[in-house]
Amino acid sequence: MPHRAQAGAAGIHPPNDYSPVWQTLLTDRENMSDSLGNILLCSCEDTMRLDPDAVRRSCPGAHVATAHQLCRAELERFQAIAKDPASLTVGCTQEAAVFATAAADAGRSAPVNFVNLRETAGWSSDAAAAGPKMAALLAAAAEPLPDTPFVALKSDGVVLIYGRDEQAVEAGNLLKQHLDVTVLIKPPAAVVPPRSSEFPIAKGTIRSAKGHLGAFEIMVDDFAQAAPSSRGTLSFGPSRDGAVSRCDVVLDLSGGSPLFPAADLRDGYLRADPGNPAAVLRAVLKARDLIGTFDKPRYITFSEQLCAHSRSQIVGCTRCLDLCPAGAIAPAGDHVAIDANICAGCGQCAAACPTGAASYALPPSDALLRKLRALLVTYREAGGEYAAVLLHDDLHGAPLIDALARFGDGLPAHVLPFCVNEVTQIGLEAIAALFAYGASAVRLLLRAQPRHDVVGLTRTIALAEPILAGLGFGTGRIATIETDDPDVLGATLRAIPAMAIAPRPASFLPVGDKREVLRFALRQLHRAAPEPVDVVMLPAHAPFGAVEIDTAGCTLCLSCVSACPTGALTDDPQRPLLRFAEDACVQCGLCKATCPEKVITLKPRLDFRAGSGGARVLKEEMPYCCIRCSKPFGVKSTVERVVAKLADKHWMFKESPERLDLIRMCDDCRVAFVSEKEFDPYGAPRTPVRTTDDYLRERDASKLEEKRGG
């Protein structure tokens, strides 16, 4: 749900400047340490054990201080440290509001970073060994994030309540003092007439709905307005189909099928089971607050020029269209269009996009990987072993982790929780980077009943598994945990075996767009792998691979070159030639669909040599030179094949064999030759066209003959 614009974007920090990609291979520990500045650790009244030495070892430039009750008895100490303009990280989130107020009172203008060390590390049966984890969590929290763009949604408070009985009318009575209410009741709409008409009541069945908070458009069939003379039950006037209603909020109490796909993700659409009074009341209270201007994150950054959806009305890539649960993506010519007002931020389109046209912005790929880098590099340098990274969201994952810490054994010391906006935003670049940085295992925490389809995440895991297995990491390294039970979560995490990490862990600093980050992460994974190989075969529809052609059937028409959206297929203006750069191929299939000879085959694979090998020649032939001016103008084999097929077979060339020379000439010489030879393009002599002069001449000749005869 979007938040009010007045709330702003608190806690989001401006980005730093980073070096180009090729200058970031070496670890810069000093920069990472400096960014930590002051670190405050609190034992929360000695309910958890602290290991400040582990933090100091991994963050030698940071000032680390400990406390017993920082939020109460030692709050003045916090304020004294907060006056320092250096970066400040506090190992507590429960009392973040207290610390934020105290920092403001102390005159601090810089933001304060908060990280939950208690539930994620300190409150655990493994707390004695959690020092490296605490250091890692602190380092990751201190990594800055770029600003997130927002889109504004405006609601004037016009609400349509769609129900089946008096409950819809009662919801209208609860909202009439706050919103502009209209009630629509499904036929037969046998409800008692209200004593006074304070808002419109009508009957009808919603045929279709589209839009979002502040801009819904509803089409209603069997629509009729209530008659003012209704007595025992509401009676209605004449009905009609195709009535259109526009509103800002839709409150659906009909108990039928949802009006939108992934209905829980549609801003402004509130749906409750009419048989659950508590759920209905919650929906009414939510609707009451949906008036004003709201800021919604623009989750996806989209570059239409990179999109490989289609070319020349031939469809290629449809990955994002197939995955979007909210219906926010639609074809728009050669590319797709993403409606930021509808987009719910699941991130599956960005994770699956092979070209990087769609990339996630909360945060961008490079910023996300910098946090993961800080997490794993710090953990390793603090003495941690066999790090298992648990990727989770805030709405579902964080409460489970909290419950496990408060009522169970907590997280194991080697499990590093990492919160993201949506688990489904995780793409192959993050998975490759995690194992390149030295993760032993990766688990993704999902709901037992996800709010939307997670097939995109499933495909990402299915793509990562053969890559990891092919590079010697083995199987079972990455999996989902689908549960709403904290005890099941704890048992599953403790059952993860201690699998070996990469023998040569990377520490690269990722910079660039999504596709660049993905390529770089995969190269670093290959370098760090236990058993690196040059080529790993991948499942169908993978975003990497080769293009193979049947050279005997290829005529070098180069239609595939014009269709290729990434420049993986190129020609040469000087000679008939087709080149292929595998590093640029995204296996969109446009070349295969466009090829008139149907000689192209896609071969999904990951070739780690492709980035340095350059483009290779798929087919090359001798050019054919014009027999008149000697200028090369075509492919020799093609011209000769056309000549062989037409000679002595087509009437045009049977009657005039020298016409075959036209095929052997370039465009300019062909025009000149036709003019010189006065070739009739229709072959046989034709009767001249008769004109008015011909008729007048014949008439005069006829009159002259008559005079002579007379």
All structural domains of the chain with their residue ranges: 3-147+362-528, 157-290, 299-360, 545-620, 623-677
Angle at Cα 57 formed by Cα 53 and Cα 61, nearest 5°?
A: 110
Evaluate if residue 203 carries a pLDDT over 70.
yes
Provide, rounded to the nearest whole percent, the portion of the chain with pLDDT above 90. Answer: 76
Tell me how far apart the alpha carbons of residues 434 and 419 are, in angstroms, rounded to a whole number.
14
Q: In one letter, which amino acid is 528?
A: A
Evaluate if residue 5 carries a pLDDT over 70.
no
Strand order in the sheet with 150-155: 3-4, 292-297, 150-155
Rounded to 5 degrees, φ, ψ at 225 are -90, 150
User: Higher-confidence residue: 107 or 1?
Assistant: 107
Task: Centre a 10 Å sphere on the Cβ of residue 472 and count the other Cβ atoms it contains.
Answer: 14
CB 51 within 8 A of CB 41: no
The predicted pLDDT at position 690 comes to: 82
Query: How confident is the model over 408-430, as a mean pLDDT?
Result: 97
Residue positions counted in the chain: 710
Which of 317-321, 436-440, 649-653 is the least confident region?
A: 649-653
Q: Tens of pLDDT along 7-27?
A: 332 232 333 333 333 333 334
Rounded to 5 degrees, φ, ψ at 400 are -65, -45
Q: Tens of pLDDT along 279-288?
A: 999 999 999 9
Residue appearing with tokens 């296996």: 587
CB 181 within 8 A of CB 269: no
Tell me how far apart the alpha carbons of residues 109 and 113 are, in angstroms, rounded to a whole number.
13
Two structure tokens written together for 333: 């010519």
CATH code: domain 157-290 is 3.50.50.60
Q: Tens of pLDDT along 573-615?
A: 888 899 999 999 999 999 999 999 999 999 999 999 987 778 9
CATH code: domain 545-620 is 3.30.70.3270
Two structure tokens written together for 202: 């009508």
Element spanning 222, H or E: strand 215-225
Coil, helix or strand at residue 42: strand
DSSP 261-307: TTGGGSTTEEE--TT-HHHHHHHHHHHHT--EEEEEE--EEE-GGG-
Closest CA relative to residue 209, chosen from 76, 77, 380, 342? 342
Evaluate if residue 51 carries a pLDDT over 80.
yes
Model confidence, pTM: 0.85
Residue appearing with tokens 């020298």: 658
Evaluate if residue 206 carries a pLDDT over 70.
yes
Tell me how far apart the alpha carbons of residues 691 and 565 are, in angstroms, rounded to a whole number.
55
User: Higher-confidence residue: 268 or 681?
Assistant: 268
CATH code: domain 299-360 is 3.30.70.20
Tell me how far apart the alpha carbons of residues 506 and 132 are, in angstroms, rounded to a whole number.
18
The predicted pLDDT at position 347 comes to: 96
Domain 299-360 identical in fold to domain 545-620: yes
